[in-house]
Amino acid sequence: MEDPLPERMRAAAGALLVALDEPARAAAARPFDDDARRRLEYRPRPRAGVCLADLDRAGRKAAHRLLATALSPHAYAQAVTIMALEEVLDRAEDWRRGRHSGDYWVAVFGDPAHDDRWAWRLEGHHLSVTMTVVADEVSPAPVFLGANPATVRYAGRPVTRPLAAEEDLARALLDAMGPAARAAAVVAEQAPEDIISATRSTAPGRIDPLGVPAARLGPTGRALLDQVVALYLDRLPPDLATHQARRLADGELHFAWAGSATPGRRHYYRVQGDDLLIEYDNTTADGNHAHTVLRRPSADFGADLLAAHHAEAHPR
């Protein structure tokens, strides 16, 4: 029988730290209260932790095994494809910026072997996965996946398109709406420049306009909205995804779209629910640069588990 997820994460994080030499371990191991723990950064720049490009084969493999504990098989495949796209983008830019598929950083905050609260993150350009572990629970957000280019084509056919379902399901939902629901869902003719939550350490608890509520969708539209939400939750391992789905069961969902409905043009959507924010944008001039994020406004970076832990440890 497989160990519970928190134990698998502890074991993988511990194995990573053991696999590193002393300088790399010193860079990767950070205090739990380090300000860097609550940062989300999906732009290309150095960040807290140790860079995978600087690790040997064993260290890189240990980092990937840790990442795999946080993602379902298909989401892990998306993540490693996104990392490989750095080489494709570097070629498209005539190698001017020196992008590298190893330019991803892993950091462990706290001591997974001994602390009852610790966290880890693997992050780089267009990829940021943060997991916070408190006792025997995991708080799984934010999870950011982006892609540039979003699609590589040959003879009009996609060669690689790692975020295809995230776009196609939302388009199918928009197409399934009747005129009244669509009028409520489309909140702006122009798409924003980026996801609205951006790199904020705290996601907005509510973004207005909310868009169309799930209750105003027909059966097909509601089923498609549920599929969109499931797609993002299913980035997580099954036990985490199921737990997050239960949290949403009794709440109202809203869907909002901005920008063009024509494929290949600038567009954006979001889904909001009880402690849920999903955002997607593809807003470059050629509509070929996508950002997606799964966030929990009151629980990002383990805020929910840490608040409960503090209340239990320090009752009034």
Q: What is the pLDDT of residue 1?
A: 63
- Which pLDDT does position 316 carry in this prediction? 59
61-93 per-position pLDDT tens digit: 999 999 999 999 999 999 999 999 999 999 999
Average pLDDT over residues 132-145: 96
- pLDDT value for 314: 56
CB neighbour burial string for 7-25, b if at least 16 within 10 angstroms, e if fewer = ebbbbbbbbbbebbeeebb
Crossing angle between the packed helical segments 164-176 and 219-233, to the nearest 10 degrees? 160
Label the pairing between strands 276-282 and 267-273. Answer: antiparallel
pLDDT at residue number 249? 74
Kind and range of the H or E run holding 173: helix 164-176
A 10 A CB-CB count for 303 gives 18
Selection from 264, 263, 232, 261 nearest residue 245 by Cα: 232
Higher pLDDT, 76 or 309: 76
Stated pTM of the model: 0.96
pLDDT for 182 equals 98
Residues 6+ apart with CB under 8 A from 18: 62
Q: List Cβ neighbours of 21 (8 Å cut-off, separation of 6 or more).
A: none
Report how far residue 184's alpha carbon sits from residue 30's, in angstroms, rounded to the nearest whole number.
46
- Give the model confidence (pLDDT) of 16-60 as tens digits: 999 999 999 999 999 999 999 999 999 998 899 999 999 999 999
- Is the distance from CB of 203 to CB of 271 less than 8 angstroms? no
Calpha distance 267→251 (Å, rounded): 26
Higher pLDDT, 246 or 315: 246
The answer for residues whose C-beta is within 8 angstroms of residue 162's C-beta and 6 or more apart is 77, 78, 81, 82, 85, 145, 147, 150
Nearest C-alpha neighbor of 283 from the set 294, 272, 269? 269
Quote the pLDDT of residue 287: 85
Helical spans, DSSP H, in 20-154: 22-28, 57-70, 73-92
Question: Strand locations in the chain, DSSP E?
Answer: 29-30, 50-51, 104-109, 117-124, 127-134, 137-139, 143-147, 152-154, 157-160, 186-188, 212-213, 254-259, 267-273, 276-282, 290-295
